[in-house]
Amino acid sequence: MAEGETESPRPKKRGPYISSVTSQSVNVVIRGVVLFFIGVFLALVLNLLQIQRNVTLFPPDVITSIFSSAWWVPPCCGTASAVIGLLYPCIDRHLGEPHKFKREWSSVMRCVAVFVGINHASAHWSQKVDFDNNFQFSLTLAALSVGLWWTFDRSRSGFGLGVGIAFLATVVTQLLVYNGVYQYTSPDFLYVRSWLPCIFFAGGITMGNIGRQLAMYECKVIAEKSHQE
């Protein structure tokens, strides 16, 4: 080697752990699994509230879990949660508008708490509070759901996805009720309750926030690992 010529530093070899953590495909799978179990847990808790308030009724032969819920409800909600939670940050990257409004876990936890409160209100108020009509009650829940979006999201993509999720989920629920899978007490919007789209909208915003926070945490980990290398 000629004098004065310095040897170029060799790139550090990454261990299997760092390689797996910084692998995008593995990160997507990990986030999907986390979102799935969060969705399953919320489905069990929220469905229990609905059943206790006598809002939804399942046939006796399908009540199998300790939470008195049909066995297929938690996996379906978990799968939907994973899809929604992965879709939100993907749309943000596609639009080139990274979501940075209230990006901390404390805000995400408050969003979850508000969503649970809205769901509980839909079950409690529909039985206890005397509204002039169901339309007025649905408008109240719609205002609460939009307030959740404004407080914890405020993105146009988040609002659009929330509306799309609410519409699609309501159509699927109508089909399930129409085919006798389960039923709602006192349906006032075809076969379901008129406030159901508001719950789906708030749920979409909530899972989107969780998915965005997980994606942001992943980016921070990758940046720190790359800097250390």
C-alpha–C-alpha distance, residues 78 and 7, integer Å: 53
| Helix/strand/coil for 7 | coil
What pLDDT sits at residue 222? Answer: 54
For 22-133, where are the alpha helices, taking DSSP H only?
A: 24-52, 73-95, 105-128
pLDDT in tens, the chain (229 residues): 445 444 445 544 444 444 444 577 888 899 999 999 999 999 888 877 766 655 555 555 444 444 445 677 889 999 999 999 999 999 988 887 766 666 788 899 999 999 998 888 777 665 555 555 667 778 888 999 999 999 999 888 899 999 999 999 988 888 888 887 777 766 666 656 777 889 999 999 999 999 999 888 666 555 555 555 5
What pLDDT sits at residue 68? Answer: 47
Answer for the pair 118, 145: CB distance below 8 angstroms, yes or no: yes
Q: 18-55, pLDDT tens digit by residue?
A: 444 457 788 889 999 999 999 999 988 887 776 665 55
What pLDDT sits at residue 61? Answer: 47
What pLDDT sits at residue 96? Answer: 75
In 3D, which of 57, 53, 41 has the Cα closest to residue 192?
57
Q: Which residue has the tokens 């921070």?
A: 220
C-alpha–C-alpha distance, residues 137 and 127, integer Å: 11
